[in-house]
Amino acid sequence: MECKSIAEALAGIPDGATLMVGGFGLVGIPENLIIGLRDLGTKDLTVISNNCGVDDWGLGLLLQNRQIKKMVASYVGENKEFERQYLSGELEVELVPQGTLAERCRAGGAGIPAFYTPAGVGTPIAEGRETRMFGGREYLLETALRADFSLVKAWRADGLGNLQYRMTARNFNPMMAAAGRVTVAEVEEVVEIGGMDPHQVHTPSIYVQRFICCPHQEKRVERRTVRKGVGA
């Protein structure tokens, strides 16, 4: 269903919900939906995402507003407020190896309850957890992840809600779209039904319950690095 407002797209997300939020760094994040969630003030959220934005953008906005209770992520190094809340005990954090996080989300969307991986074996991540030997190698049991709502960012949607992502903005978005009980997509443009090449549909509409067309806010870079000019 195409929504006419951010409030309509986010309707029904309760306090205490578990959310998956697509993106990698600041690429492919549903920035308008995140701003809308901040404005709604929904709190005590468990958020599953690769990272937590930066201090003043992306999921960092929800951190500033004290709306996130627990964060499940693989990388948190660009956010000082995240560090402060974690060290002060205000924020619960579950760190997951990046590939494992991706596979846990994919498994959730595929209906696979758990799987074994060598990632994390012999590290603190594996302490007190089930392991098993396969082919002479030890593997760690990981469970799938599901979410009450998945918020994703796509380049285009058609009138049915089929989604196409653009370049690296594809990242975590397709697997999270499949793993949400209700998936809300923020898109940059909507084309007519039949106006999208079927081979370029990355998320079929069966996984998408709501979508909304929003203008792109701004292109941010987490850590800008430039090379000094010759002779500088």
The verdict on residue 232 lying in a domain is no
What is the CATH classification number for the domain harbouring 206?
A: 3.40.1080.10
pLDDT of residue 33: 96
Q: Which residues pair with 142 in a beta bridge?
A: 115
Kindly list the distances between the CA atom of residue 186 and the CA atoms of 12, 86, 91, 154, 206, in Å, as whole numbers in the listed order: 17, 29, 27, 6, 16
Residue 55 lies in a domain: yes
**Within a domain: residue 139?**
no
pLDDT in the model for residue 231: 64
Contact 156, 188 (CB under 8 A): yes
Residue 221, pLDDT score: 66
Q: pLDDT at position 226, please?
A: 77
Query: 91 lies in a domain?
Result: yes
**Structural domain contains residue 60:** yes
Residue 221 lies in a domain: no
Domain containing 148 equals 15-113+144-213
Phi, psi of 102 (to 5 degrees): -60, -45
Q: b/e for 73-85, b at 16 or more Cβ within 10 A? A: bbbbebbebbeeb
pLDDT of residue 220: 67
Count how many domains the chain has.
1
- Digit-coded pLDDT (tens) for 77-95: 778 888 899 899 999 999 9
Residue-level pLDDT at 102 = 96
Residues of the chain under the 50 pLDDT cut: none
Residue 90 counted as domain residue: yes
Say if 63 falls within a structural domain: yes
